[in-house]
Structures are given as C-alpha cells and as structure tokens.
A and B are shown apart, each in its own frame.
Chain A
Amino acid sequence: MKDTTLVVAGMATLAAGTYAIRFAGPALRTRMSLPPRATKLLEAAAVILLAALVATTALTEDHGFSGFARPAGVLAGGVLAWRKAPFLVVVLAAAATTALLRLLGVR
C-alpha cells in the first residue's frame, strides 16, 4: 500500500469534503434551488464513475487483463441483480462463480 500518511490525507479529504457537501444543501436551501436537470446530471455522474470502477476492477489488474474467472463472476452477479435477486445472493453468486471457475482451472 501507499504511504500511510497519504492514505490518511486522502481519507480526511473525502470525509471533510463529504461533510461540507452534506452541510451545504440545507444551509443554502433558502437562497437557491438546483434545477432538476442538474440534479439528474449529478446522479448520472455518480453512476458513471461507479460503472467505470466496476469495469476496471472486473476486467483489469496491473494495467492488463484480469483473466476470465473474475469478470464471469461479476457478470453472473450482474444478471442476478438485474433480475432483482437479493443483495446477498448477488454477491455470493459472483464469488462462487469465480471460485468455481478457478477450481476448474480457468484463469
């Protein structure tokens, strides 16, 4: 892992910034309102960031391809989530699929 001080600084930045964002809404409420479009864009931006994280953590490792077992597990979990399976089922199915494929020798 990176130098601990830097990690703590990163965490403190995230914690303080998040608090400030949470505080700002109710404090500004009487003075401004955000157009619904801007709200929608902010929500979509969050989903885009997270989708990109899903893609990179599922498919890459150290700038290269992660192998087939991991993305196959994530795909299994994703299909179950889309079909509205319970959260626990989704997560365990993803891990089980990947573990099983590795057991069978798929990398």
Chain B
Amino acid sequence: MSSIRRTLEGSVRRDIGLTCLAVLFTGLSYGAIAVASGLPLWLPIAQSVFVTAGASEFLFIGIVAAGGNPIAAALAGLGVNARHLPYGLALAPDITGRGWRRLFGTHLMNDETVVFALAQPDYPGQRAAYRLCGLGAFVAWSGGATVGALIGSAVHDTNAFGLDAMFPAVILALIVPSLRDRATLRAAAAGAVIALAAAPFLPAGLPVLLALAAVALLRRERPTP
C-alpha cells in the first residue's frame, strides 16, 4: 500500500475511493434486489465473488428471476462482458499482474479499473491504479452485495416499497452515460422496442437476446470508411 501512496497522486486515490463508494451502493442495491425478486441469498453473494461484473450479474438475475433459462441468462451475461476483451487489449503489458498474481489480477478487470489504469501517465502509476481500484471495487462489490442480500431477505412486501422499480432504475442509471451518444441511444431504443414486442410471445430471457438485432442499426448509420 505504501508503494501505491508513492506512485498515485492524492486526487487519483480520492477518485478511486469515491468510485468504490458508488460500487458499494450499487452492490447493496444488487444484493437487496436479487433476494427481493425471490432468488436465494447465496446467489448474489456467490456471483459477486466469482463473476464480479455488475452489469452481467444484473442481467443474469433479471432473466432468472423472471423464470428464464439460467444458461440463456449466462450467455446474455457473457454478451455484456465481451467488452472486457478490448479492455485487455488496451492495457499495457502485465498490468493485470505477473506470474501467479495474474490469476487474481485478471479477475479484477472491470470498467472502473481499466478507466483509472489507462488515465495514469506512467507504467508504475497504471499498475498501482489497476491494483488499488481493482481490489477496492472487488471488496466494495462483494461486501455490498452480501450486506444488501441480508437486508433484502428482511423485507417481505417488496412491491409496497417499490423495490421492483429499483432494478430497472439501477441499470438505467448505469447505462445513461453511454446513452448520451446519439447512435447508441437510437440502437438501444430499437433494442428495447424489439424486446418489448417479443416479450408476450417468447420465454423470459430470449426477448433481451433478440434485442441484439438492433446492433445492425449502428452498422448502417456509420459505414466503415
């Protein structure tokens, strides 16, 4: 930790702290919502530790809670997590760790760690930011999910508290920054319409996957130069 203090500026450490605090709140709501939707206590906790990729876990929980097939839910989650491939390609060599440390360092890759690592001017700073943000976010996410799940299991009439509205609101809050891009917004809206149109006819989970057809919209709008 002392090496992290030397290599990272105070403002960067503070920003990482604030980011982890936001992750903690998201984790709390994630755990609470998962249990409130009727899923067992262990599921959000185990996922937060073993998957550690918020958006895909929300997607998985949402599909399974609606009665969808867990394997289809996992495939949808992997679709959301495909963005980690370009993340890994963008990082400088060995940022995720060397030797055996890489086994755990790999697991810490997420939106926040990559953003902070790429923002540092030099290699030691990038490594330090990746490790600090990665560990912080991991602890905040799994800790938040665990506490949230315990809180959620204490609430019985979840609909009276509007907890069912929290789930979509959380995901919406997470994607709003990306929706400020016009082309993405249009494609996302089209995807939502596709999923809604399919929802009455298809088993839960499939309408969300079908929404991917809206990717074609992006292609047409910006042809490859």
Contact = CB atoms under 8 A, between A and B. Distances in A.
Given A34-B85, A37-B224, A91-B166, A17 B40 contact: no
B169 A56 contact: no
| Tier of interface size on chain A | 35 or more
Given A45-B212, A49-B212, A51-B189, A34 B83 contact: no
A92 to B, nearest CB: 8
B119 interface: no
B62 A74 contact: no
B74 A10 contact: yes
Interface in A29-71: 29-30, 32-34, 37-60, 63-64, 66, 69-71
Given A1-B64, A56-B199, A17 B165 contact: no
Interface residues of B, number: 101
B24 to A, nearest CB: 10
A104 interface: no
B178 to A, nearest CB: 5
A11 B172 CA distance: 23
Contact of B161 (A17, A47, A95): A95
Given A11-B46, A18-B78, A73-B169, A63 B200 contact: yes
Nearest to B91: A26
B215 A23 contact: no
A55 B192 contact: yes
Nearest to A30: B93
A6 B69 CA distance: 8
Given A2-B70, A58-B168, A52 B195 contact: yes
B106 A23 contact: yes
B133 interface: no
Interface in A76-107: 77-78, 81-82, 87-88, 90-91, 93-100, 102
Given A22-B107, A52-B192, A90-B169, 20 more contacts: A1-B64, A7-B43, A9-B71, A10-B71, A14-B47, A21-B78, A22-B106, A24-B88, A25-B88, A26-B94, A26-B96, A44-B215, A47-B184, A53-B171, A55-B168, A74-B172, A87-B25, A91-B25, A98-B165, A99-B161
